[in-house]
Amino acid sequence: MLKLEPRPQPSQFWSLASPLLALAITVIIGVALFAALGKDPVRGLQVFFWEPIKTPYALGELMVKATPLLIIALGLAVCFRSNVWNIGAEGQFVIGAVFAGGVALTAGKTTGGWIVIAILLAGIVGGMLWAGITALLRDRFNASEILVSLMLVYVADMVLSYLVYGPWKDPAGYNFPQTKTFESVTQIPRLMAGSRVSIGLLIALAAAAALWIFLFRTRAGFAQQVGGLAPAAARYAGFSSRRALWVALLTSGGAAGLAGALEVAGPIGQLTPYVPAGYGFAAIIVAFVGRLHPVGMIFSAVLMSMFYIGGELAQSRLGLPKSITGVFQGLLLFTLLACDTLIAYRLRFTALQAGMKGAR
């Protein structure tokens, strides 16, 4: 018989080992899932964990997927560390893409390269404005940021659909719901020829470094976390919990909007109804698997992008449904939540002890 026994203090070992154990359990369950579906488990694992890294081009595609996940997760980490639960990063990602797309559509043949900076700034502003709605309702009316931010995701999707089916629809697009392809001058600069990896990767890594400095080396970062976690203590220390709320949501929204701008002006190159790719929701898993730490989130973003690419390959090579990506993401999240129990509790085997007492 197993018994959970509270630890005298949280385990530092399991705080780091829990994500690794969760990944191992996810892989084991994945093997059983492949076998249950009549697929070769070894081939299934190859598709998810080897195919995305076996060639330089595959590694580049992995980075393309990891970039928006990391950027969004970094913003969410500020929220979650401040005890602000922004679940609507997907909507902020979409509105950032809409704002960026609107700027990109103004470009012509003679537009200069400065338009790229304007596109990225527009994406940041769009994401911040959308997150600002949640901040305002939470600040003024104490509305739940979880519900408000989540419901705004669907509003953002409707805004995008209205534009691509309506006023921004490409007249020469054979009635497809999409804008015209953006001019080449709006394309986010790529790091190397023959790869879709853009400067967005460098921006994401720079943002990770900046977040580490902000959270762990500045007074403002300390105040941000205290303001969210302990408002009474923050007021006593002279920190503002309201400011923590606004900073957290605006930072998170701006990061998601930046990711949206990088996506539509990079790999996609136009606005379509398929801009929402689930990155905003997957980034929540990235943030928690990475322990809300910038370095940890870099690795978890790569892992999550492997699930995305592996899911796409599983469709074409193994005949599995598209939902297999979500299955692996959900498995990782739930196994992580289960394994995190070991941080505050230890397992004890009590059956043998009870049997020995009975024998006496």
pTM greater than 0.95:
no
Same-domain pairing of 219 and 342: no
Candidates 107, 72, 68; CA nearest to 89 is 72
Same-domain pairing of 258 and 113: yes
Same-domain pairing of 24 and 74: no
Work out the burial of residue 358: count CB atoms within 10 Å of its CB; fewer than 13 is exposed, 13-18 middle, 19 or more buried: exposed
pLDDT digits (tens, 9 = 90+) for 67-106: 999 999 999 999 999 999 999 999 999 999 999 999 999 9
Q: Is residue 62 part of a domain?
A: no
Q: Provide the pLDDT for residue 109.
A: 86
CA distance linking residue 304 with residue 310, whole number of Å = 10
**pLDDT < 50 regions, the chain:** 354-355, 358-359
Distances from the Cα of 262 to the Cαs of 10, 204, 226, 277, in angstroms? 39, 11, 32, 13
Distances from the Cα of 160 to the Cαs of 32, 116, 186, in angstroms? 39, 21, 20
Q: Provide the pLDDT for residue 252.
A: 98
Q: Provide the pLDDT for residue 207.
A: 97
Same-domain pairing of 81 and 33: no
Same-domain pairing of 32 and 73: no
Domain boundary among 273, 290, 307: 290
Q: Is residue 309 part of a domain?
A: no
DSSP of 106-161: T--TT--TTHHHHHHHHHHHHHHHHHHHHHHHHHHH---HHHHHHHHHHHHHHHHH
Q: Provide the pLDDT for residue 352.
A: 53
Q: Is residue 12 part of a domain?
A: yes
Q: Is residue 191 part of a domain?
A: yes
Q: Provide the pLDDT for residue 351.
A: 58
Three-class SS state of 340: coil
DSSP of 65-81: HHHHHHHHHHHHHHHHH
Q: Provide the pLDDT for residue 208.
A: 98
Q: Is residue 331 part of a domain?
A: yes
Structural domain count of the chain: 2
Domain boundary among 290, 310, 333: 290
Same-domain pairing of 106 and 242: yes
Q: Is residue 56 part of a domain?
A: no
Same-domain pairing of 5 and 76: no
Work out the burial of residue 159: count CB atoms within 10 Å of its CB; fewer than 13 is exposed, 13-18 middle, 19 or more buried: middle
Report the amino acid identity of residue 61: E
Q: Is residue 9 part of a domain?
A: yes
Same-domain pairing of 170 and 212: yes
Same-domain pairing of 249 and 347: no
Same-domain pairing of 159 and 217: yes
Residue 107 CA from chain centroid, whole number: 30
Q: Provide the pLDDT for residue 357.
A: 52
Distances from the Cα of 16 to the Cαs of 19, 214, 329, in angstroms? 7, 22, 19
Domain boundary among 236, 270, 290: 290
Same-domain pairing of 283 and 144: yes
Domain of residue 148, residue span:
67-290
CA distance linking residue 70 with residue 205, whole number of Å = 8
Report the amino acid identity of residue 329: Q
- For residues 198 and 188, the answer to whether their CB atoms sit within 8 Å is yes
Q: Provide the pLDDT for residue 33.
A: 92
Q: Is residue 26 part of a domain?
A: yes
Same-domain pairing of 148 and 102: yes
